[in-house]
Structure 1
Amino acid sequence: MDTRIMQTFLLAAKYENFRMVAEKLYITQPAVTFQIRQLEEELGGKLFNKYGRNIQLTEFGRLFEKEAKEMIAQYEKSITRLNSFQQGFQRTIRVAISPLMAETILPSILVRYTKTFPNVELSIEVLESIKISDAVEKGEVDLGLSCLPGFPTIKSLKLHEESVSLVCRHDGYDSETGPIIDAQNLLESTIIFTDNHPTYWERLKEQLKTSLSTYKLMKVNQSYVTKRFVLEGIGVSFLPKSIINREILEGRLLEVPAPFLTLPTANMYILYKYEQQMESDFVKFISNFYIS
């Protein structure tokens, strides 16, 4: 089936007017009509009903529209793969990564992995950790880098464990002359941004409720947004060390000890279903990767 004719059909379905399709494709209107008739003969069914100068999909046409979009998408995907091969890439490995890791370790991974495996093309999809296991299980991606372990039906390898700290915007004082920040007063007097990590917040909120006389919680489900709000001085939060290291070193954030709380840890996992060569190489590479 000619993909150009399918493209003509999809434009006709979109604009419901052969003249507009002809103008978009820089061909004559009779040429558009001829292509649609060719397609109808090939498929054995009528695709459009005509109403004056306009057209409308038949029931058969609406069914084929969905199929045509899928066929065009697969065709374009195949062309992309062939172009990648011609450019020297021998395979694409699809990786789903959580937003937290996308902000912290992804840039370093990309640089080092592409240098180590120059003939492998990385395809990155950013997904919430809770969705990554399902994507790996269904074969939508080859591997996942997640804050959560995977389903029992796939493999989960714990990559890293790090501490979580209470952080606030830097107060401008140096560590020797500045006043001591009391964690309890801080938490009772400002907004606490919660739910920016998928594993530790429920237990942490229970501790806050029993340890503080008053508090105000605000749910912000993205860690990088939480960090932005804390940097602006809007409130405070508990964040993994990997996402705040740079701001701590640059003197933009302060870690505040909270000895009355049992602070959690945050884990990172690599999830995969198959142990083929490409996946095994990636798992081995990531396993040896130093995460600061």
Structure 2
Amino acid sequence: MEIGELKAFVEVAHRTSFRQAAEALFVTQPTVTARIQALERELGERLFDRSTRVVHLTEPGKLFLTHVERGMRALEDARTSVTDFRNSKTGVLRIAAARVIGTYVLPGILHAFRVKRPGVEIVIRTGRSAEVVEMVLNDEVQLGLTRFIQHPKLNAIHLYDEEIVLVTHPSHHFASQASVTLADVGREPLILYDPGSFYYDEISSACQRAGIVPNVVMQLDSIEATKKMVELGLGISLLPHSSFVQEQEIGTLTSVDIQGDYDVRLATTILHRKIAALAGPSRAFIDVVQELPLNRNSTHATAGEA
């Protein structure tokens, strides 16, 4: 049973004429006749009553027409679905993101993406960078947004570098100074976020290079909790700039420059498996992200404005 035979059957059924069906299909009348006969042989039933000039469906033909038309509509829907996926109009996009990126940067990116691709369903998972890598490697997600990681099975597309800055309460004595030194920071109660993160490792390395032993009084696995502790005056912190844009705008937190060779920046990348070709929503997402001005410090606000 071939698609050409089914199309011929539907045309004859609706036009009640082999000749008109042939004209509609741009084939000869004998071709239409041969296709109908092939169907009848396969089904073991006559589909049309040909005893008059006007062709009529038999009872088996009427039953068959109902199912064929339903199948033809399903086939057309299937074609449309694949075309829409290829054109990135529909489909499911699964993304894993490191927690900070997923909380403060990704919402703005998704806003821009949804404007251009409203028909794509989006599934987001968050975790530490190592967990994001595993999700990409295991094909649980198509894309991973995380700090720069090299892996032989993954491609990494660089997006932007984010500065880790000194954050204090506006009433802290640092807030009235143009800048401070890393040694000054080392003498203050320091609240750090996520000891297992890239942030923590980079901050620790910067302190070691400067010969500073920081006065760490608190370590938290939540960046929101970290900010609340600083807002309450329990200490100062070093945080990704994107994570406190809102607090800086409303005046509950402020940033202070650090003098000297302190320059801690973390690269943010999109990861995808080398063996998986980028297509459909994945390709469209990367195209949208690369159009956004994510290289400025106010990462979250910038992405949201796009």
Counterpart CA distance in 2 for 1:228 and 1:128 is 21
- Structure 1 position 160, deviation (Å): 0.8
CA distance in 1, matches of 2:284, 2:203: 37
Give 1:232's aligned residue. 232
8 Å Cα contact 2:90/2:281 also seen in 1: no
Please report how far the alpha carbon of residue 258 of structure 1 lies from its aligned counterpart in structure 2 after TM superposition.
2.1
| Code of the aligned partner of 2:204 | K
- Deviation, 1:219, is 2.8
SS of 1:234's equivalent?
A: coil
Label 1:208 to 1:192 Cα distance change in 2 as closer, same or farther (>3 A).
Answer: farther
2:288 aligns with 285
Q: How high is the TM-score relative to the length of structure 1?
A: 0.61
Please give the alpha-carbon distance, in whole angstroms, between the structure 1 residues aligned to 2:146 and 2:256.
27
The CA deviation at 1:216 is 2.8
Question: What percent identity do the matched residue pairs reach?
Answer: 21
What CA distance in whole angstroms lies between the structure 1 residues aligned with 2:218 and 2:114?
39
SS in structure 2 at match of 1:166 = strand
**Structure with greater contact order relative to length (CA < 8 Å, sep ≥ 6):** 2
Kindly state the Cα deviation for residue 263 of structure 1 after the two structures are TM-superposed.
2.5
- 1:169-248 matches, within 5 Å, as 169-171=169-171, 178=176, 182-183=180-181, 184-195=183-194, 198-208=197-207, 211-212=211-212, 215-248=215-248
Deviation at 1:206, TM superposition (A): 4.2
Q: Deviations over 1:1-33 (max 9, x none)?
A: xxxxxxxxxxxxxxxxxxxxxxxxxxxxxxxxx
CA apart distance, 1:90: 3.5
**Letter in structure 2 aligned against 1:153:** K
- Following the alignment from structure 2 to structure 1, what is the Cα–Cα distance between the partners of residues 214 and 142? 46
CA distance in 1, matches of 2:163, 2:241: 6
Cα distance 1:216–1:98, how it changes in 2: closer, same or farther (>3 A)?
closer
In the alignment, residue 233 of structure 2 is paired with which amino acid? G
Matched to 2:147, the amino acid is C
Q: CA deviation at 1:213?
A: 6.6
Equivalent residue for 1:159? 159
Structure 1 partner of 2:92: 92
Which amino acid is the alignment partner of residue 187 of structure 1? Answer: G
The question of whether the paired residues in 2 share the 8 Å contact of 1:99 and 1:222 is answered with no
After the TM superposition, which of the residue ranges 275-284 and 164-173 deviates more from structure 2? Answer: 164-173
Distance 1:110 1:202 in 2: 29
After superposition, the C-alpha distances for 1:89-115 in whole angstroms (9 at most, x for unaligned) are: 831111111210122122222322122
Q: 1:150 to 1:128 in 2, by over 3 A?
A: same
Aligned length: 205
TM-score (ref. length: structure 2): 0.58
| 1:272 corresponds to | 272
Deviation for aligned residue 1:121: 0.6
Distance 2:179 2:153 in 1: 47
Check conservation: 1:191, 1:217, Cα contact below 8 A.
yes
Change over 3 Å in CA distance of 1:179–1:216 after alignment to 2: same
Q: In the TM superposition, what is the alpha-carbon distance from 1:197 to its structure 2 partner? A: 7.5
1:217 deviates by 4.8
Mapping 1:1-292, distance limit 5 Å = 90-149=90-149, 151-171=151-171, 178=176, 182-183=180-181, 184-195=183-194, 198-208=197-207, 211-212=211-212, 215-273=215-273, 274=276, 275-291=278-294, 292=299
Which secondary structure state, in structure 2, belongs to the residue aligned with residue 257 of structure 1? strand
1:271 Cα offset (Å): 1.0
Distance in structure 2 (CA, Å) of the matches to 1:96 and 1:213: 34
Name the aligned partner's letter for residue 281 of structure 2: M
Task: Work out whether residues 188 and 212 of structure 1, in 8 Å CA contact, stay in contact via their aligned partners in 2.
Answer: no
Equivalent AA in structure 1 for residue 267 of structure 2: N
Matched position secondary structure for 1:244: helix
Look up the equivalent residue of 1:97 and give its one-letter code: A
| Structure 2: gaps of 5 or more residues | 1-80, 82-88, 300-306
For the aligned residues, what is the CA RMSD? 3.1
Q: Quick one: which amino acid aligns to residue 198 of structure 1? A: S
Of stretches 259-268 and 113-122 in structure 1, the one that deviates more from structure 2 is 259-268
Q: Aligned partners of 1:265 and 1:239: how far apart in 2?
A: 11
Paired residue for 1:18? none
CA contact (8 A) 2:148 2:266 kept: no
CA distance in 1 between partners of 2:105 and 2:206 (Å): 30
- Mapped contact 2:192–2:200 kept (Cα < 8 A): no
Secondary structure at 2:115 match in 1: helix
**Which blocks of at least 5 consecutive residues in structure 1 are unaligned?**
1-84
